[in-house]
Amino acid sequence: MRIVLAIDGSKFSEAATQAVIAQNKPQETEVQLVRVIRILSPQVPEMLGYYPGMEHSQDAQRKFGEAYLEKTAELLRSKGLRVTKAVEFGSPKSEIIDTAEKFHADLIVLGSHGETGLEQFLLGKSRANQQRARSRKSCSRSMIPSFLNQPRSF
């Protein structure tokens, strides 16, 4: 099974990581870890002059994200899972789906923070998002509620 595990450092991501460990056969599972860093950019290009050093901030965020992914990858590898990692910049909902498509994922797993925009996207609650989600019918999505540490499949 090919799984995209989207993590952000929260307790919800820890629950999702534990669910992946508990529910899969290591010898048959490959996990693509992804950490998406939302880029907050000015709406008007002329405003970039007011944000000097923005590229240094992104470098620092990437290094922090890579260190976090490596820690999680080590845990998964210690349980026998094959792991690759990626830090992406952009919209989490778009980057997670794009990663799943590139990875040819069978399953996307992430922790549930509640009924957020990201969860609504992955569950296909808006018309445009339903169409995009349908284009990856072969890829299931699973939210891991931290209070239960049990997956909800959709």
Candidates 81, 87, 64, 75; CA nearest to 26 is 81
Q: CATH number, domain at 24?
A: 3.40.50.620
Q: Let me know if residue 34 belongs to a domain.
A: yes
Task: Give the model's pLDDT for residue 144.
Answer: 55
Range of the domain at 140: 2-39+52-153
pLDDT digits (tens, 9 = 90+) for 68-94: 999 999 999 999 999 999 999 988 889
Q: Let me know if residue 138 belongs to a domain.
A: yes
What is the rounded average pLDDT of the residues 103-111?
91
**Whose structure tokens read 């820890």?**
14
What is the rounded average pLDDT of the residues 98-115?
84
What is the rounded average pLDDT of the residues 43-52?
56
The pLDDT of residue 126 is above 60: no
* C-alpha 93, offset from chain centre: 8
- Overall pTM > 0.75: no
- Model confidence at 23, pLDDT cuts 50, 70, 90, reads confident
With residue 50 as reference, give the H or E element that holds it.
none
8 A C-beta contact, residue 111 and residue 146: yes
Q: Let me know if residue 32 belongs to a domain.
A: yes
- Please give the biggest Cα pair distance in the chain: 52
Q: Let me know if residue 44 belongs to a domain.
A: no
Higher-pLDDT residue of 140 and 85 is 85
- What total of structural domains would you count in the chain? 1
pLDDT digits (tens, 9 = 90+) for 3-17: 999 999 888 899 999
Q: Let me know if residue 73 belongs to a domain.
A: yes
How many other C-beta atoms are found inside a 10 Å radius of the C-beta of residue 55?
Answer: 9
